[in-house]
Amino acid sequence: MLGRTLFLLRDRCDIEQAMDVHGTTVWRVCLACLRSTHDAQDGFQDTFLKYALADDVQFASEEHRKAWLIKVASNRCKDLQRRAWRRDAPLDDPEHMDALAVNDPFALPDSPYRDVLEAFARLDDPPRTPLYLAVGEGYSAPEIAELLGAPVNTVYSWISRGKKQLKEALK
């Protein structure tokens, strides 16, 4: 009897298609979490590499595939954040934050959104990633709880706290 014991990657077309449909979401999750295009590139690459290697995972729908990618991306980005914390100055170090805010392309000096993105980048994470998923992707708190493996009440608190902190910063 033949069984599926092969260890293979998904077709390139499959990966390209996933990237076309959900690449923007994955990129934005990585950028929201890591606040640096350099680190976001690592998170993005690792997420789609995991997708490529998970050739035996079948998705019931595009929404299911999107949710899977978001979970993998947020987990991978947390790892990257923790590794940076252990190795370098903490990301919340003021000097490091200023360098991110000023030099990182996602907070361009001429951008009309510079103020709000700088304020967003200065938030802790959480609430940064949950806030992105709520406002940027339109997920509900129960859906975000499922994606991040957190209690739903905690997610509500994160989103509420994040918005409050942003309003204070943007006064």
Partner 1 sequence: MNEDRLEQQLRQAFDSWEVPAEAKQRTLEVCDRQRKAAQPWEPTSPVAPSGRRRPWRFGGLVGAAVAACLVLGVVFFGVAGSGAFEAAPGNGSVGASSSDEVPAASAPIMASVVPTAYVAIDINPSLELSLDQSDTVVGASGVNQDGWAVLGALDLEGMAYGEALRTLGESQAMAPYLTADSYVQLSITTDDVRQEQGLAAISDEFLATLPCGGFCAAASHAQRQEASAHGMGCGRYQAAQQLMALDSTLTWEDCEQMSLRELRDRLFVLEGGESVAASGQGNGSQGGYGAHGVSGHHGQGAHHGRSHS
Count of positions on this chain that bind partner 1 (CB under 8 A): 79
101 alpha-carbon distance from chain centroid? 18
The pair of three-digit structure tokens given for residue 95, joined into one six-digit string: 């000097």
Question: Exposed, middle or buried: residue 138 (CB in 10 Å: 0-12, 13-18, 19+)?
Answer: exposed
Q: Please, what is the minimum distance in Å from the beta carbon of residue 129 to partner 1?
A: 12
Q: Please, what is the minimum distance in Å from the beta carbon of residue 64 to partner 1?
A: 5
Q: Is 27 in the site for partner 1 (CB under 8 A)?
A: yes
Q: Is 149 in the site for partner 1 (CB under 8 A)?
A: yes
Q: Is 93 in the site for partner 1 (CB under 8 A)?
A: no
Among 33, 39, 76, 130, binds partner 1 (CB under 8 A): 76
Among 102, 113, 124, 153, binds partner 1 (CB under 8 A): 113
Q: Is 8 in the site for partner 1 (CB under 8 A)?
A: yes
Q: Within 13 Å, how many C-alpha atoms sit on residue 127's CB side?
A: 20
Q: Is 54 in the site for partner 1 (CB under 8 A)?
A: yes
Q: Rounded to an integer, what distance in angstroms lies between the CA atom of residue 25 and that of residue 90?
A: 26
H/E element, 137 = none
